[in-house]
Amino acid sequence: MAIENITVPDLGDATEVEVIELLVSVGQSVDINDSLLVLESEKAAMEIPAPIAGIVKSIAVNLGDQVTTGSEMMVLEVDVSATNENILDKKEDVPEEVDKKTNAETEQDDLVPFLGSEISLSMIEVPDLGTEDEVDVIEIHIGVGDNVAVDDPLITLESDKAAMEVPSPRAGEIVELIVSVGERVKKGSAIAKVKSEIAVTSEPDVASSLSNSENIEDGQTEPVSPESPPPPSIAPPSSNKVYAGPAVRKLARELGVNLTLISGTGARNRIIKEDIHDFVNSRINNPQGGALASRTMPAIDFGQFGEIEKVARTKLEKVTAVNMDRNWNSVPHVAQFNEADVTDLEAFREELKSEGERRGVKLTFMPFLLKACAKALKEYPQFNVSLHASGDYVIQKKYLHIGVAVATDAGLVVPVIRNVDQKSIWQLAEEVVELAEKASQRKLTLEEMQGACFTISSLGAIGGTGFIPIVNAPEVAILGVAKTEIKPVYIDGEFKPRKMLPLTLSYDHKVVNGVDGGMFATYLAKLLEDIRHLAL
């Protein structure tokens, strides 16, 4: 039996997430992909599956804990007899003289590989900074004994133009920290020594292993340039001399905070994440705190009117509320209303019902809507952009990923269908159903909810004649779809019953003008009325 530490997997852009549910207990047996616990980020709740089978020996987290990528979750006792047997069979094939040499020379080597994996010790160096000048180490995010994941920030460097976080190129345990705050470093300078565990999937190269161990004992390390990360992006110099790292600036953008209003408490007055959270909290709690505080509703004792009950909101619900408030107040919304005659499209969809049953796919209206929106975004690329934080330019996207809003018991989530223009109606139908099921089961990953260019919010199954959706910034437009209604339409001198689909296009008037909004909505309705245009 072997002991395996189970850690939080890669969470994408999320920095810290909350443990909201534990699904296993000590002594319980789990299989691969059994759910261990539930984490909740600002975007969604997700179940974390077991990467291996085993018995839970201990649980390192509690409800309410904040964890990050690489945080220890629990310890499993794993039966590795099958794996060991395979490796032993391979080990017996090693020539006797090489085996003896290996045994003799690795007695004093700390890097003795164990069955199933081997330990690698390597040095992490400062990557290419785009300059040969030395820069200051102003912040260290790690310590000896810390476990880091790929892309976890190790240190923060500051040049005369900007500050940048240096990410870890590999996962492992920090065994030695080389740099200190205030030290000046340049490309190739050593940052830290990391111990990594590498799974053995084939017969190890004995000669290579010996060479590696000898180099490490001599205080040397192998060149790591092939594994080095790409050069960190250097932010343009700020005229206001704001010192903050990329992660802090991203948080400020998400919360709508002007960094020039904050006094940093980090090294050399550097703004850290805690400064932003303190600033936001002070604005909320201080009645004189400005626009954010001025929108705070006064507290009312509703108990004086009758019986009440306080129902706690989930983190997802609270974050959604903050995002909706920010988007509504920072995006000047314009709503363009239209109707699409989908009589022929609905008849065509009904004809495909039997083929859908044969394929095992439920063909809803959404795949056609996705395809039409992708076509419209290609025709009017000014809708497939995001406004840069500076407001000086827009980012034109060359891909077509579309989000579909899904209501769940935990709150609203928006899974993203990628490369809609490259997929068939049947492929889109399968993916829509799959993502909707994952959303209802809280199994969506953060990657599956990122990168949308445009969003569709459909209430057709619920009812209503129309609604105005809120733009999901940094996107610049969103489509609201209501329930199809049979209406009399004047065609060829007479009124005929037609199935009319209400559409509402909300867009950011900072980026999109009214003429383009009207043309986009009209073109989209035209595509839905005659889907033959989708093939043109």
End-to-end CA distance of the chain: 62
> Residue 74 contacts by C-beta under 8 Å, 6 or more apart in sequence?
6, 24, 36, 56, 57, 58, 59, 60, 61
**Is the preceding peptide bond at 51 cis, omega within 30 degrees of 0?**
no
* Residue position matching structure tokens 């994941």: 149
Q: Which two tokens stand for residue 487?
A: 């209406």
Helix (H) or strand (E) holding 194: strand 190-199
- Residue positions counted in the chain: 536
With 0-12 / 13-18 / 19 or more C-beta atoms within 10 angstroms meaning exposed / middle / buried, residue 381 is exposed
The Cα angle at residue 272 between residues 269 and 273, in degrees rounded to 5:
155
Instruction: Please choose, from the candidates 470, 276, 509, 479, the residue with its C-alpha nearest in 3D space to the C-alpha of residue 387.
Output: 509
The Cα angle at residue 257 between residues 256 and 262, in degrees rounded to 5:
180
Check 141, 333, 388, 509 and give the catalytic one.
509
Question: Catalytic: 509?
Answer: yes
> Which DSSP string corresponds to 293-317?
HHTPPPP--GGGTS-----PPPHHH
395 touches 385 (CB < 8 A)? yes
* Residue position matching structure tokens 């057709």: 460
Ranges assigned E (strand) in 23-64: 29-30, 35-40, 45-49, 54-59
Catalytic center residues: 509
